[in-house]
């Protein structure tokens, strides 16, 4: 059964480091070894793994996504958030990370990021183990 994490975003676009929240769910569930799946059930948000040591990396990613997929582009979807849907396709809706001895197996600089493309909103992220 998946476990949920609640996230409140404060701006239209943002990358929020949720690594410690996911790690806490692993520890609370008593998972020692296996895999952890993190899933975002929103069509205007995503999940990704990237560098978490330098905040400039997240700013660069969001800036470049905005340049590639502008908010006010020529879109058919009339809700004003077409760019958010496209950006979520690029980042994806889930990631899978190995768990070893109760800890996420991530690279030295890697963190798990919730990517908001249509905030501010209240969001959910689901975590499941296998």
Q: Tally the domains of the chain.
A: 1
The domain that holds 26 is classified in CATH as 2.60.120.460
Structural domain for 75, as ranges: 3-129
Q: What is the mean pLDDT of residues 63-92?
A: 96
Mark residue 92 as left, alpha or beta (left: phi above 0; alpha: psi -120 to 50; beta: remaining).
Answer: left
| Helices and strands counted in the chain (H then E) | 3, 8
**pLDDT tops 90 at residue 1:** no
Evaluate whether 5 touches 25 at the Cβ level (below 8 Å): yes
Cβ proximity of 69 and 117 under 8 Å: no
Supply the pTM of this predicted model.
0.96
Contact assessment for residue 102 and residue 26, using Cβ atoms and an 8 Å cutoff = yes
**What would the pLDDT profile of 23-54 be if each residue is shown by its tens digit?**
999 999 999 999 999 999 999 999 999 999 99
Rounded distance between C-alpha atoms, residue 37 and residue 95, angstroms: 6
Give the pLDDT of residue 125.
Answer: 98
């Amino acid at each position: 059964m998946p476990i949920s994490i609640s996230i409140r975003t404060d701006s239209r676009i943002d990358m929020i480091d949720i690594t410690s929240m996911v790690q806490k769910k692993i520890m609370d569930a008593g998972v020692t070894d296996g895999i952890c799946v993190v899933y975002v059930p929103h069509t205007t948000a995503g999940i990704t793994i990237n560098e978490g040591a330098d905040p400039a990396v997240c700013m660069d990613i969001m800036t470049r996504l905005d340049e590639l997929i502008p908010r006010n582009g020529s879109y058919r979807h009339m809700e004003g958030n077409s760019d958010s849907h496209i950006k979520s396709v690029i980042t994806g809706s889930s990631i899978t990370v190995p768990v070893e001895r109760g800890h996420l197996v991530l690279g030295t600089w890697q963190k798990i990021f919730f990517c908001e493309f249509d905030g501010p909103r209240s969001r959910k992220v689901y975590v499941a183990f296998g």
